[in-house]
Amino acid sequence: MILPFMVSRDFQVVVIGGGHAGVEAAWAAANMLRSERSVALVTIDPAKIGVMSCNPAIGGLAKGQLVREIDAMGGLMGLATDATGIQFKVLNTSKGQAVRGPRAQCDKHAYAQCVGRMIASRPEIQVIAGAVDELLVEAGRIRGVKVGGSDISARAVVLTTGTFMRGLMHTGESRVEGGRFGEAAAVGISASLKSLGFELGRLKTGTPPRLKRGTIRWDELEPALGDTRPVPFSDLSGEAALDSSAVPELVRFPVLTQIECRQTRTTAQSHELIRGNLHRAPMYSGQIESVGPRYCPSIEDKVVRFAERDSHGVFLEPESLRDDWIYCNGISTSLPADVQDAIVRSMPGCENAEIYRYGYAVEYDMVRPHQIFASAMTRTVEGLFLAGQINGTSGYEEAAAQGLLAGLNAARVARGSEPIVLGREHAYIGVLMDDLVTKTPVEPYRMFTSRAEHRLILRADNSADRLTPLARELGMLETDLGNLRWALFESRRSQIAYANAAVDATKLDGESLSKLARTPEFDATMLREAARPGMKSGDPVSDNVWETVFADRRYAPYIERARADIARREELERKRLPSHIDYRLLTPLRTEARIALEKFRPQTFGQAGRLEGVTPADVTLLAVLVQRYQSSRDGAAS
């Protein structure tokens, strides 16, 4: 049910924002609370729930791992992607399983509709149309929000504003208030956060032009193909039918027709056009002062930073099966429209291309994330959670991962339980949250496999093994869909045990299969074939289970070493720091370390050791000083 306004009403959790973080937060909270109308999802335009405002793609390197983890914990992004994907491809297949990343190009219209249906299928979620003007806080605790002059009370609130907080869009000299094309900015929420004492920052992101396919010499360009055999994101896809009022597309996989993308490139002529118009680019004219994403730079940034190159690759990606819009992946820009026309037509195959929508940059407010805990709850206001770009991240996947954790923890707080934290050794979601609370993002944060020191353990293929039992323990799977997920997981667990027993019972030419699995020429298919003699009742094991069994055997020595390292660090991760200590008074510590500790206020010694400006020697000294501090407080109390 969608209401335009709302008289005073009590919810357990209110989620603000209907983007990727918001829908995942609402879905997770609904999974936890399971009572009718316990979750309010407040969004300016309910018709835009789940909209893919930039590239209609999900996953990729490290981002694919995040989506698999979201799915393992009962989230919706993987399901929606599988139901609406029009090209699936696992990246980095020439490398080991630890750095492979599943990715899918989605039909942007189908994706948003799928997410909207999933949200509408939940009686726990009530969608409210409107903008939040104010956060209602009493005695340091969230009490609700004000929407259109009406108060909505809640025990926990999740704020997922995306790029809408004081959003300002730039195309050349033109500036328009808004969070994305055709949508108004959210103004009041920034003022409300400031009044509560939050330190805000400002970041920038951008998007490329969209082209009309019929004006591109499509068939003359090099194809960019997906996988012949698509790999789904969700463990549920294709396994069972859901209620037809929810997501009937999940009955089979893949659902939609699979498409080809095309490749082109910028040219020396393109780069000359860009250099000749840098004074008209908002990033270089001084019109934009905030920082954009270094790892997804605008074409202006690429040309300036990589001046020695005369070409950059561009992927032309269909946005939907329902229209002929083409996403120009690789030329994000905020240059004026006439310059964008010229740049596009300087690329091979695009000499006569027409632009449906010009690229633009958007500036927006964010909350500097040293003000949140790794649970996503703010330090200043109990029960207030932040997720997505408001925390300084970029990308649908990073937003959704934060949304899932924030929604889960908001529901826990609403029920009187403590929030939970995922460790860096448990999930990429844990790496993401730990990075946010121990480092100051000077640009939009993007997840990479290189950020995860335990990536051999945190693979895409074993996400369910790591996180589905935890989701069940936390109560996130106590729905019909959750029960199906658990049944499939138990089947997977049995298959893993059966496959491992067969591998252990079999030798090939006198060598154990575990040893052979570590040789370069061996792969999962060869392991499966070699293990057949050790199987007592045929081979009931799925392909993805064999991939996991093979990866565990191939990397066994490294995994063992990683687990030993984790065990050594567990004491530091468990050992908590006093919450009220004044680090400025610990003068034996270096000034840089004291400043970092006071700013970030880590919860554990492990977090303290990962802060910018804190060395291992500082942590050793900190342990001594904290012990003295606690002894002095105990003495004063007695």
What per-residue confidence (pLDDT) applies to 630? 79
Q: How far apart are CA 146 and CA 130, in angstroms?
A: 10
pLDDT value at 551 more than 60: yes
- The residue assigned the tokens 């004291």 is 594
Residue 324 is which amino acid? D
Please, which pLDDT band fits residue 612 given cuts at 50, 70 and 90? confident
Q: Are 167 and 363 in contact (CB under 8 A)?
A: yes
pLDDT value at 192 more than 80: yes
Backbone angles phi, psi at 126, to 5 degrees: -110, 120
Q: What tens digit of pLDDT does each residue of 384-409 get?
A: 999 999 999 999 999 999 999 999 99
Q: What tens digit of pLDDT does each residue of 339-383 get?
A: 999 999 999 999 999 999 999 888 888 899 999 999 999 999 999
Strand-pair partners of 608: none
Q: Are 234 and 460 in contact (CB under 8 A)?
A: no
What per-residue confidence (pLDDT) applies to 486? 93
Torsion of CA 396, 402, 407, 409, to 10 degrees: 170
What per-residue confidence (pLDDT) applies to 244? 37
The mean pLDDT of 2-17, rounded to a whole number, is: 74
Other C-beta atoms lying within 10 Å of the C-beta of residue 89: 22
Question: Taking Cα atoms as reference points, which of 447, 456, 520 lies closest to residue 97?
Answer: 456
Three-state SS string over 489-558 comes to HHHHHHHHHHHHHHHHCCEECCEEHHHHCCCCCCCHHHHHHHHHHHCCCCCCCCHHHHHHHHHHHHCHHH
Q: What tens digit of pLDDT does each residue of 436-450 get?
A: 999 877 788 999 999
pLDDT value at 560 more than 90: yes
Q: What tens digit of pLDDT does each residue of 271-313 get?
A: 999 999 999 888 776 676 656 555 578 898 899 989 999 999 9
What per-residue confidence (pLDDT) applies to 291? 61
What secondary structure letter does DSSP report for 14?
E
The mean pLDDT of 24-46, rounded to a whole number, is: 95
Indicate the angle between helix axes 77-84 and 108-120, nearest 10 degrees.
Answer: 130
The mean pLDDT of 196-216, rounded to a whole number, is: 93
Higher per-residue pLDDT: 400 or 632: 400
Q: Are 205 and 55 in contact (CB under 8 A)?
A: no
pLDDT value at 597 more than 70: yes
Half-sphere exposure of 150 (CA within 13 A, CB side): 15
Question: Taking Cα atoms as reference points, which of 596, 575, 598 lies closest to residue 585?
Answer: 598
What per-residue confidence (pLDDT) applies to 248? 44
Three-state SS string over 344-384 comes to HHCCCCCCCCCEEECCEEEEEEEECHHHECCCCEECCCECE
- Integer-rounded Cα radius of gyration of the chain: 25
Question: Taking Cα atoms as reference points, which of 461, 491, 411, 378 lies closest to residue 64?
Answer: 461
pLDDT value at 243 more than 50: no
Please, which pLDDT band fits residue 163 given cuts at 50, 70 and 90? confident
pTM of the model as a whole: 0.92
Q: Are 436 and 369 in contact (CB under 8 A)?
A: yes
The mean pLDDT of 496-506, rounded to a whole number, is: 94
The mean pLDDT of 131-143, rounded to a whole number, is: 94
pLDDT value at 212 more than 90: yes
The mean pLDDT of 115-143, rounded to a whole number, is: 94
pLDDT value at 2 more than 70: no
What per-residue confidence (pLDDT) applies to 313? 96
The helix/strand count (H/E) of the chain reads as: 20, 23
Please, which pLDDT band fits residue 92 given cuts at 50, 70 and 90? very high
Cis status, amide bond into 254, omega within 30 of 0: yes
